Structure 1
Amino acid sequence: MRVNTLKRAAVAFALALPGAAVATVVAAPPAHADGCYTWPRTLTQGRSGADVRELQIRVAGWAGYGDIVHIDGRYGPETAAAVKRFQAAYGLRVDGIAGPQTYAKIYALQDNDCTPKHFSYAELDNGCGTGGWSGGPLSTSATRANALRAMWKLEALRHSLGDKPLYVTSGFRSVACNRKVGGTAGSQHLYGNAADLISRSRTLCEVARSARDQGFSGIFGPGYPDHGDHVHVDSRRENKQDGLANTTDWSASDCGVN
Structure 2
Amino acid sequence: MYTRTVRLILTFVMIMAGALAGTVATAGTAHADGCYTWSRTLSQGSSGTDVTQLQIRLGGYPGYGSVLAVDGDFGPATEAALKRFQSAYGLTADGVAGPNTFNKLYALQDDDCTPIHFSYSELNDCNSTWSGGAVDAATAKSNALRSMWKLEAMRHALGDQPITVTSGFRSYACNSAVGGASNSRHLYGDAVDLGAGPHSLCTLAKQARNHGFRGILGPGYPGHDDHTHLDHRAGQYWSAPTCGI
What TM-score, normalized by structure 2, do the two folds share? Answer: 0.86
Name the structure 2 match of 1:216.
Answer: 213
- Aligned partner letter, 1:178: N
Larger radius of gyration: 2
| Match status 1:201 vs 2:189 | no
Question: Shift of residue 71 of structure 1?
Answer: 0.4
* Cα-to-partner distance string for 1:196-217 (whole Å, 9 max, x where unaligned): 0123211111111000000000
Name the structure 1 match of 2:232.
Answer: 235
**What is the alpha-carbon distance in structure 2 between the residues aligned to residue 232 and residue 143 of structure 1?**
17
* Cα-to-partner distance string for 1:86-114 (whole Å, 9 max, x where unaligned): 01111111111111111111000000000
State whether residues 33 and 112 of structure 1, in contact with CA within 8 Å, keep that contact through their aligned partners in structure 2: no
| Match status 1:66 vs 2:71 | no
* Cα-to-partner distance string for 1:192-238 (whole Å, 9 max, x where unaligned): 101101232111111110000000000011111111111101111xx
The unaligned stretches of length 5 or more in structure 1 are 1-30, 237-244
Name the structure 2 match of 1:256.
Answer: 244
Name the structure 1 match of 2:102.
Answer: 103
Name the structure 2 match of 1:187.
Answer: 184
State whether residues 124 and 195 of structure 1, in contact with CA within 8 Å, keep that contact through their aligned partners in structure 2: yes
**What is the alpha-carbon distance in structure 2 between the residues aligned to residue 168 and residue 73 of structure 1?**
29
**What is the alpha-carbon distance in structure 1 between the residues aligned to residue 105 and residue 147 of structure 2?**
16
Name the structure 1 match of 2:17.
Answer: none
State whether residues 165 and 199 of structure 1, in contact with CA within 8 Å, keep that contact through their aligned partners in structure 2: no
Question: Shift of residue 181 of structure 1?
Answer: 0.9
Name the structure 2 match of 1:94.
Answer: 93
- Aligned partner letter, 1:255: C
**What is the alpha-carbon distance in structure 2 between the residues aligned to residue 51 and residue 168 of structure 1?**
29
Question: Shift of residue 32 of structure 1?
Answer: 5.8
Name the structure 2 match of 1:170.
Answer: 167
User: What is the identity percentage for the equivalent residue pairs of Structure 1 and Structure 2?
Assistant: 61
The unaligned stretches of length 5 or more in structure 2 are 1-29
State whether residues 68 and 216 of structure 1, in contact with CA within 8 Å, keep that contact through their aligned partners in structure 2: yes
Name the structure 1 match of 2:53.
Answer: 54
What TM-score, normalized by structure 1, do the two folds share? Answer: 0.81
Query: C-alpha root-mean-square deviation of aligned residues, in Å?
Result: 1.3
- Aligned partner letter, 1:250: W
**What is the alpha-carbon distance in structure 2 between the residues aligned to residue 39 and residue 90 of structure 1?**
19
